[in-house]
Structure formats: structure tokens, C-alpha cells
Structure 1
């Protein structure tokens, strides 16, 4: 797969659109016949790219989607799992084509996760269709991620692939190499619980990764259905948390609801709608997260854990499809197949108006709504970060007042429209106030 900009891939599929046209004639109209050849794609209308998985020009669709995205064009990418070229023409013969019916962007139940490159293919099933070899994909990814030293094996330095070899995993798990190879290749589809537990030990899988392995290897696990909306009672509870940022996320890390402090915390982002899209597509994220690489890895591992519990969730597949095309960083992390549910951690933010924030994060599962989590940030009482949360609360209250009516009074000491977010002396975008004094002022102690 070529990079999103520059020349098309070496095996240029655009040639398929210029068969029968030679030399100068082909060059003259190449950009009109294949828009991906044009140097400038700005100003084009929003696009929907729907492409079958098993079509020779699939890479071309990926490439064109990236070019459009770079040019600022809105793109919805919908790869169709298991389909071949022209499958919509065979509604009388192919079940997949009958299920597709009229193409409806945003609601089509027959699209799957994007495949931006072979090593990053999603293995989720879609609309009742089983993937080719989910268990084998997972075993290969985790085997490649485990070094011989961590597994207690010697490394002679002559390995052709990263991680462990198949025979080494079989040795550590106490099974024949032939049987393990058949598991990875998908020729053995019904491993026992004992076998899976042995493999989990050999690959040094933690509890979450082991649970995912069992979901793939055993047929006793059912498929959960995620709750699409937030209950009024949960909204009321969240809004009552006036001292801390709190928000509800769904299976695909969509922000389903948020209180005023959470909205203020993430105010620097262009859109506060999906945590993954914010991290990977909004440039502000690299200033907001003190350790962006860590935040990105945790977010992708959490999405993997969610996809394990909800393997047919359309929203998860759509966000994987979009980010797989638009963000190479996401595609690379997704291909590592790390399953790490995010339940608690310490966060380090750089807020544009409050400054440095070190907060503790807790994700609380909403048992009455599968797939939803109430996320809450807190700070150590009496600390500088606790003061920062008080200031954040006052800013959120002011923003709420400004949004609710024209009669509210602006803070004369607060930031003005004349403040320059690009001030070289202030990379965060706003001069950070002296915290204790600002907290006192915000609380009315003048």
C-alpha cells in the first residue's frame, strides 16, 4: 500500500482504467478518468467509497480515500466483507447481494471493518458472517509480540520473524507442533478449554487477553448486544457530579453523554464525539495528551477489548474502518491485536486554559446498559490538580451561562478574544493563571 500522498502504488490499479489507451492519450485524460491521479482534490463534494473486499482495485479505493481526506473532503469508507467485484449484480444468486439491498450510507448492515493493509485486517464478523480465521489471526499477532527472552527461551539471533516460532509456542504449551500449526491455520476449529489455557500461559496472556482467546476458541460464548442510548436516570446521576468531569462512552468509544466539566475539559478539540477519532484525527490531541503514544495505545487496546465482547457491533466496525483508512498510526496499533480494557489509570493533560492536569480516571461499567461505561476523573484532595478542577468547574459554569442567555456577565479578568492562541511563549494557547488566586476569584473571594 502506498502512502496517502505522492505517486500511486507501484502496481498502479489505475492502469485498469486506461486499458486500450496508449501513450499521450492516456496521460491526457488520466486525471479525468481516475480522480486519484489529479494533483489537487480540494473542493470535491463529500464521498462514500463502498468497495468489495475481494476486488483487484481495492487498494485503489483505500488510496483514493486517503487522498480525499488529505484534501479536506469528508469521506465515509464502507468496505464490504466477503464480497467480490460486481456482487450487487447477483441478487438472484448471492445472499450477500440480497442482504445489501438499496445502498444506504450510515445504516448498511452488510459493511465490515476496513482493510488498509494486509497485516492490519479486521477479523470481526458482520451481519452473521463468520470471519476466515479469527483465532489464527489472534494467535499469530500475540506470538509475534512475545520475545523469546520474556518467554524464557534463548535467542540465537537468526530469526526471520519477530517473536516466537510456532514450534516454540507448542513446546511451551505442551502440545504437538502440528496441532498448534493447524490451530493457527484454521484447520482445527474446536480446541478444548485445557488447550486454550495452555496456549494462554505460553503466550503470557493477561486476564483480558485470555478471556478474548476463550471467546474466539469456544462456541459457548454468546454475542452481546450493546445499548444504544443513555438512560435518563444515568444522565441525572452524571449531571449531579458537579465537582468532577464525567461522561458516558459506548462500544465504539462514542461520547454518548457528558456533563459540563467534561465538555470543558475537552473543549480544545474540534469535535467532542468519539475519543478515538479525537486522538487519531484531531491535531490538538498531540498537545492535549502529555504522552500521546501511551494514550493512543491504551485507546486502541480498549477498543479491541470492546470488539471482543461485541464482535458484531456496527459502530465498532465503522470506527475501525474510518480510522484504518485515515490514520496509519491507528492501523499499526490495531494490527498488534492488544486486548486491554481500560478500567483505571492516571492521566496527564495539557488544558489550553487551565494548564497541566494530572487526574485519576475510573471507568465504571453500566450493568443495566451493556457496552456503556461511566468515565470519571478525580484529583487528590488539596493538591494543585484539585485546584485546577475547581477552576475548570468555574469555566464550565461560565460557558453554560454564556450558552443559556445574553444576560450573563463576562469575567473581566478572564481570557479575551484578543488573546493569541499561537503565542510562541505559550504553546498551550492560553497564559496559565496563578492557580490559587484564580480559584479564589472564581469562587467569588475577591
Structure 2
């Protein structure tokens, strides 16, 4: 069964394409920005009725060839295409979510010298290593949620000096999850809270970004050592489809590496 979010996603993708950009002549009085449904149907080589049933989220088994044609017509990139397919074919709503971190994953975390942690479906922090705790203070809130902190905590804008891109990554992560599990009430409740609690995040959410930020850079202001610019890698965990491993990286001999060394030295001093 298709997600109610499918129609919203397709409408935003229609709105960003002008007819002239795809070789169509503009005709009649246009009361909307972007492509009409009939124009998408024309580009995708299908009837208007058939495309409309797709956009309205009708419970039908749309073949790959149809989805491929619509993706090409709307010029979806790879991340958007994956998101589109997930919206059309969400996962089994009866899937039993059990956010348990495997012992092997915990051993892997402990072997990593830089900050690392595991996130669950709702961006809850399931496990972390020592340096992850030094940076994020996870132990102070062992049931903490990184999305709630990023969007709703009053100090988030200080901790993340470039807050808005971090909030956009948060929105994209949650959008992928809700596309996969549209009937997850805990997930939709979380998103409702974030949207209601922060008007800037509400605007970011409405953009409907499906970008997957699996790697990049993140600037953090730590209360002890000041600003640290990390790289990061986000890795899907095998056999744990609702969990990702996030590893922060630093270049050797960089200011970030010196900051990590300083935090590690404080930890060693405190142990004696």
C-alpha cells in the first residue's frame, strides 16, 4: 500500500520543473508552478488517469517500468528515486522493531578511537564509544534522541554552529524512515513534535528533501576544547536494517586531531 506522503513528494517534484525545460509548450492559463499531472503523464508515456492513481497513492501494484518512467519524467536523482520506490512500496507495517545492538557491534564501537555511535530508526542513540560520549555526553541521557536534541534543545544552535544543514540532514534521515515505515506511530509522533516545536525545522521539512548524507563534514562547538571540524561516515549495519553506525573522523595533525587528543588526555588524568 502506498504512503500518503507519496502524493506530496510527487507534487513537489512536479512543481520544480517548468514545461519549457523538458521540451513542452506552455498552453492555457497556468495557475500552478511546474508541470501538470497530464504533462508528467505525457512525458512518462502513460494515461493521465493512471498517473493520477499513482500520485493519489492508490493501492495498486505499479510495475517497475511505470516507476522508472515517472522517475525519468520528473528527473529524480538516485536518492530521490530510492525514496520514490520506498514510498510506493513501504515495508511490512507489522515488522517487529527491536532496537538491540549486537555484541559484535559494541566491540566494533569500542575499537574506534574517534567518536562513534549507533542510531536507530527514530534517531535514538542505541550505543556509543568513549569518545562519542566525550563529544556528545550521551551517558547523561542514555535514552536520548539525536533528532530531538538537534531540533528542540535550546543549546543545539551553539553545539552545531552550522545548525541548519544539520537540521536538514535530520529531516532527510527521518523522511527516509517514514517512507519505509509509514505506519510507525512513534516515528510520526516524533516528526509531529519536531515540526510543532521549531518553525525553521517545519520549513526545512516542507522542502521534501530525499538526499542521503552518508558522509561529509560537521562542525561542533565543544564546551571544553571549542570548535572541532569532523568528517563523518554513516554506514548501514548488516542484518540490522533499522540501525546505522556513525563514525566521526579527523585528519592526522589537524586541529581536530589535537582536540581529540586533549579530550583523551583529560580522560586519562581523570582516571588517576
Q: CA deviation at 1:284?
A: 1.6
Q: TM-score of the superposition, structure 2-length normalised?
A: 0.83
Does 1:350 find its partner at 2:226?
A: no
- CA contact under 8 A between 2:133 and 2:139: conserved in structure 1? no
Structure whose alpha-carbon radius of gyration is higher: 1
- Counterpart Cα distance in 2 of 1:286 and 1:269: 21
- Quick one: which of 237, 256, 260 aligns to 1:385? 256
Does 1:265 find its partner at 2:135?
A: yes
- Counterpart Cα distance in 2 of 1:268 and 1:351: 14
The verdict on how the C-alpha distance between 1:196 and 1:172 changes in structure 2, with shifts beyond 3 A counting, is same
Aligned residues: 268
Unaligned runs of 5+ in 2: none
Q: Deviations over 1:200-250 (max 9, x none)?
A: 11222222322232233358x645544412122322221232x20011110
The verdict on how the C-alpha distance between 1:225 and 1:155 changes in structure 2, with shifts beyond 3 A counting, is farther
Q: CA deviation at 1:149?
A: 8.3
The verdict on how the C-alpha distance between 1:279 and 1:167 changes in structure 2, with shifts beyond 3 A counting, is same
Q: CA deviation at 1:198?
A: 1.0
- Partner-residue secondary structure (3-state), 1:229: coil
The verdict on how the C-alpha distance between 1:381 and 1:143 changes in structure 2, with shifts beyond 3 A counting, is same
Does 1:215 find its partner at 2:86?
A: yes
The verdict on how the C-alpha distance between 1:259 and 1:218 changes in structure 2, with shifts beyond 3 A counting, is closer
For the aligned residue pairs, the C-alpha RMSD in angstroms reads: 3.1
1:14-413 to 2 correspondences below 5 Å:
133-144=4-15, 146-148=16-18, 151-152=21-22, 160-186=31-57, 189-218=60-89, 222=92, 225-241=96-112, 243-267=113-137, 273-397=144-268, 401=271, 408=272
- Counterpart Cα distance in 1 of 2:20 and 2:236: 33
The verdict on how the C-alpha distance between 1:397 and 1:259 changes in structure 2, with shifts beyond 3 A counting, is farther
The verdict on how the C-alpha distance between 1:398 and 1:207 changes in structure 2, with shifts beyond 3 A counting, is farther
The verdict on how the C-alpha distance between 1:343 and 1:167 changes in structure 2, with shifts beyond 3 A counting, is same
Q: CA deviation at 1:390?
A: 1.2
Unaligned runs of 5+ in 1: 1-129, 402-407, 409-446
The verdict on how the C-alpha distance between 1:398 and 1:279 changes in structure 2, with shifts beyond 3 A counting, is farther
The verdict on how the C-alpha distance between 1:359 and 1:132 changes in structure 2, with shifts beyond 3 A counting, is closer
Higher helix share: 2
- Counterpart Cα distance in 2 of 1:270 and 1:154: 58
Q: Deviations over 1:166-217 (max 9, x none)?
A: 2332233233334323332345734321111111112222223222322333
- Counterpart Cα distance in 2 of 1:309 and 1:398: 46
- Partner-residue secondary structure (3-state), 1:374: strand
Instruction: Name the structure, 1 or 2, with higher relative contact order (CA <8 Å, separation 6+).
Output: 2
